[in-house]
Amino acid sequence: MGDKVFVTGANGQLGVPLIRSLVADGYTVVGQARTPKRKARVEQAGASACLLGDVYDIDLLTDGCRDARFVFHLAGAIRGRGQETADRINRMGTANLLAALERAGSTPEAVLFASSCAVYGDRSGLWMEEDMQPSPMTRYGLSKAEAEAMLLEAHAQRDLPVRIARIGIVYGPGFTVLLEDAIRRGRAWLPGEGQNLMPVIHVDDAVAALRAVAERGENGGVYHVSTWTPVQANDFYRAVAQRVGGKPARFWSTYVPTFVQQGIADTYERALSRTGRRPLLTPDMLKLLTASVRLKPERLDKELGFEWRYPELDAGMDATFADGGSRP
Ligand SMILES: NC(=O)c1ccc[n+]([C@@H]2O[C@H](COP(=O)([O-])OP(=O)(O)OC[C@H]3O[C@@H](n4cnc5c(N)ncnc54)[C@H](OP(=O)(O)O)[C@@H]3O)[C@@H](O)[C@H]2O)c1
């Protein structure tokens, strides 16, 4: 088998650093992106080619998967534009990838799926273990859980070498979750009360972990991709403010009841889905931003002997803002 790696969602926050890391180790990366500008970004990151199109194009996915040693299925989102729901992107996109893998006529060494801690819903800060069943409370979490189930079924039925990474909240240079600009301007507002626990991981560790799972993980295995040290949302945003100035995020649930927030987000999402634009706030996002969950990265630690570069938030934040700003 050659050294081709196919990466879907290649222009994303995780895709670009993953490509850089793979290329640095001699892999030949073929990406997928949806616009010429994003394709150019993927090629700049070192990919030898980038297929232009989306996860609804099975021919494209088949080309990508053909003769690939590894497939990283990163294409995914909480919400797309207009009518493009999480179900369409994550579940249907994964079904298409599975169809493409059958058509490609070659079996990769591993198919890595970028799932999410959102499959657990809100667990009030309980520790999650990797063999726990999903219990999603958002359409996004459900679509990821259903995609996982389809992949695991393909592993059981036709021995497809599938590996699932349930990823926590990734931060690093340029990551939108940091709310860097809003904090700098003193205008960062978030739902909840800031006391929810976020299972965080720095992007360098996340990329290394995704690779470790793909390259050395067990077929049919589920792996948590997170540090052992979750942080409260208010501490996370305080850490950003300490480094960029401005004001830490403030939390609006102290002032606006949850049912009112949900109603507003629901109406806004419905209105935007008629315009073909991407809603910036949805009921799912409210739930995801306030969910409290801790991930035990037991398998990464014990089975793969993973060594975190930034096991604690402070060191990860220092690295994120080492150059004074978080542009990648
Ligand atoms: N970052 C995190 O904290 C985190 C946590 C848990 C799970 N994950 C999962 O990890 C994966 C990568 O995350 P990320 O942070 O890199 O996200 P990202 O920056 O939003 O990138 C997502 C990628 O998926 C692509 N995509 C979305 N809809 C698509 C469609 N219909 N067809 C083809 N491509 C599509 C996006 O393309 P466009 O740029 O064209 O939209 C982009 O390339 C996602 O599946 C995400 O759900 C991420």
Q: What is the pLDDT of residues 141-153, one digit of tens each?
A: 999 999 999 999 9
DSSP of 160-218: --EEEEEE-EEE-TT-GGG-HHHHHTT--EESS-S--EE-EEEHHHHHHHHHHHHHH--
Single-letter residue type at 150 = M
Nearest CA owner, ligand 1 atom 38 = 34
Q: Model's pTM, two decimal places?
A: 0.96
Cβ-count burial 296-310 (b if 16+ within 10 Å, e if not)? bbebbeebbebebeb
Strand 200-202 versus strand 169-171 pairing type = parallel
What is the pLDDT tens value at each position of the chain, 328 positions in all? 679 999 999 999 999 999 999 999 999 999 999 999 999 999 999 999 999 999 999 999 999 999 999 999 999 999 988 888 999 999 999 999 999 999 999 999 999 999 999 999 998 889 999 999 999 999 999 999 999 999 999 999 999 999 999 999 999 999 999 999 999 999 999 999 999 999 999 999 999 999 999 999 999 999 999 999 999 999 999 999 999 999 989 998 878 888 888 899 889 888 888 898 888 889 999 999 999 999 999 999 999 999 999 999 999 999 999 977 655 5
Nearest CA owner, ligand 1 atom 13 = 14
For ligand 1, pick from 167, 175, 288 the residue to mutate: most ligand atoms within 8 Å of CB: 167
What is the Å distance from ligand 1's center to 17 Cα?
13
CB distance 279 to 268 below 8 Å: yes
Nearest CA owner, ligand 1 atom 32 = 54
What is the Å distance from ligand 1's center to 176 Cα?
12
What is the Å distance from ligand 1's center to 74 Cα?
6
Q: What is the pLDDT of residues 54-101, one digit of tens each?
A: 999 999 999 999 999 999 999 999 998 888 899 999 999 999 999 999
CATH class of 4-232+289-320: alpha beta
